[in-house]
Structure 1
Amino acid sequence: MSWKSVLAVTVSAVALSGALAVPAGAAVTTAAAPAAATQSCYVFNEAGSALNVRSGPGTGYAVVGSMAAGSRLPCGPLQDSMTTGGSYSSCGGGNTWLQVTLGGRTDYVAERCVSVGMA
């Protein structure tokens, strides 16, 4: 068996066992943990005034907060996918809603009143 084969078997065995053999006196460094993922999808209020944030996709759901004109909230789990729900009359009217994250909850805003983008 050549030295390359022995080295390959040894490296494979170390990798499989999770062990790390380091010669005495050798410096060992560890890589920093990767940075936490940053929020990449935001919903921006384009209505020109405050916008209701609701607990579900329709005006029959409770108002749980509001978005100031020009403000943004993180997208909800569906990102930029629309949900069909109850009708609304603001911003020209419609029945499509976008999910937002507010206070750790998934809530909804009228889709025609917002835009979706990156921070």
Structure 2
Amino acid sequence: MSVRYYSVAPGVRVNVRSGPGTGYGIVRTLAEGARIPIYCQTSGTTVTGTYGTSSIWDNISDGEFVADAYVHTGSDGYVADRCG
């Protein structure tokens, strides 16, 4: 499986959480303009961000998720395999 990298929204420091939702703890914060891999995607808390409103969360590392609404994937839907 090839992993693609995507840019996070400009001018935003995006929180990385331990699970797919705003109820999970913040693990770290991405630097502005970071490029991140998306290993898989899953549904979680609905978030409104730079690129609209979405319940999709991107898995960028083991136990690290980012709200897809802040990631420039060029799509409102899934761009990677579903997690699990």
Shared fold (TM-score greater than 0.5)? Answer: yes
Which of structures 1 and 2 has the bigger CA Rg?
A: 1
After the TM superposition, which segments of 4 or more aligned residues of structure 1 sit over 6 Å from their partners?
none
Contact 1:41 1:116 in 2 (8 A): no
AA partner of residue 88 (structure 1): V
Q: In structure 1, how many angstroms separate the alpha carbons of the residues matched to 2:23 and 2:35?
A: 23
Q: Residue 112 of structure 1: SS of its match in structure 2?
A: helix
Q: Residue 69 of structure 2: SS of its match in structure 1?
A: helix
AA partner of residue 53 (structure 1): V
Q: In structure 1, how many angstroms separate the alpha carbons of the residues matched to 2:10 and 2:53?
A: 12
Corresponding residue of 2:42? 83
TM (normalized to structure 1)?
0.51
Instruction: State the shift of 1:115 in Å.
Output: 2.2
Greater strand percent: which structure?
A: 2
The answer on 1:111 being equivalent to 2:71 is no
Distance 1:47 1:94, change over 3 A: farther
Number of residue pairs matched?
72
For the aligned residues, what is the CA RMSD?
A: 2.2
More contact order relative to length (CA 8 Å, sep ≥ 6): 2
Q: In structure 1, how many angstroms separate the alpha carbons of the residues matched to 2:43 and 2:66?
A: 11
**1:94-109 equivalent positions in 2, closer than 5 A:** 94-101=54-61, 105-109=62-66
Greater helix percent: which structure?
A: 1
AA partner of residue 34 (structure 2): S
Identity among equivalent pairs (%): 35
What 5-or-longer segments of structure 1 have no aligned partner? 1-38
The answer on 1:72 being equivalent to 2:35 is yes
